[in-house]
């Protein structure tokens, strides 16, 4: 009887400890970060509109800025921190150009077709009528060149972003680190023990280029 009573008491104790108290602690822990995030993202939240993906990009830039600052404050392994910060900043700079990365090509096309543009007129009903330039051969050629340039620039832009965001995979880094670690051991045959943690970290730091969002946290 006493054993059953003790068992029930232990179960009740565990219930309060792990189910109630831990949940309360977790709630207040998350509440603290909720208010911190609310302050940090207040500008993004104020401007955010769900129908325009540009606001999603802007919010992600704010997330990257926060991540970069956290890494700078020493919350990751020091061996690769600078590489990570540099790559994150590079991605931030690219994403800040998201709406403008082919503005120069747009301007070039506008200037190339300026002479063929005619002023719009107002018809008898008072509506603006814009002349159709699509049949002009010079405009057609300029548009073909413009579209090719925009396509090429877009591919280059996507490639730069994806190489940073989805760069080196963790599996690839581990594979190269193990390979170089093995070579280090073979080249130093007099040393009977394994390469030290310090040597392994140095190998990892040399292999890793700072890219790949899955690697931006340890």
The pLDDT assigned to 209 comes to 83
Whether residue 32 contacts residue 43, with contact meaning beta carbons closer than 8 Å, is answered with no
- H helices of the chain, in order, are 2-14, 22-40, 42-47, 53-72, 78-95, 103-113, 137-165, 170-187, 197-207
Q: pLDDT at residue 186 above 90?
A: no
For the entire predicted model, the pTM comes to: 0.72
The residues that bridge with 94 in the sheet, in sequence order, are none
Q: What mean pLDDT is reported for the chain?
A: 81
CA distance 91 to 187: 38
The pLDDT assigned to 9 comes to 61
């Amino acid at each position: 009887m006493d054993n059953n009573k003790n068992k029930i008491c232990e179960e009740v104790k565990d219930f309060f400890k792990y189910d109630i108290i831990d949940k309360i602690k977790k709630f207040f822990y998350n509440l603290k970060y909720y208010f911190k995030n609310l302050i940090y993202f207040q500008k993004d939240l104020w401007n955010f509109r769900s129908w325009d993906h540009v606001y999603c990009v802007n919010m992600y830039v704010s997330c990257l800025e926060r991540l970069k600052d956290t890494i700078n404050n020493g919350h990751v392994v020091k061996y690769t921190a600078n590489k990570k910060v540099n790559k994150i900043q590079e991605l931030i700079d690219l994403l800040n150009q998201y709406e403008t990365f082919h503005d120069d090509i747009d301007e070039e096309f506008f200037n190339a077709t300026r002479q063929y543009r005619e002023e719009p007129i107002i018809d008898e009903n008072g509506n603006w009528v814009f002349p159709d330039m699509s049949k002009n051969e010079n405009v057609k050629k300029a548009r073909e060149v413009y579209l090719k340039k925009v396509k090429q620039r877009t591919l280059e832009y996507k490639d730069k972003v994806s190489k940073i965001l989805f760069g080196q995979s963790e599996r690839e880094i581990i594979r190269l680190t193990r390979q170089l670690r093995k070579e280090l051991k073979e080249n130093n045959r007099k040393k009977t023990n394994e390469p030290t943690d310090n040597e392994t970290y140095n190998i990892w730091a040399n292999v890793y280029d700072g890219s790949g969002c899955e690697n931006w946290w340890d």
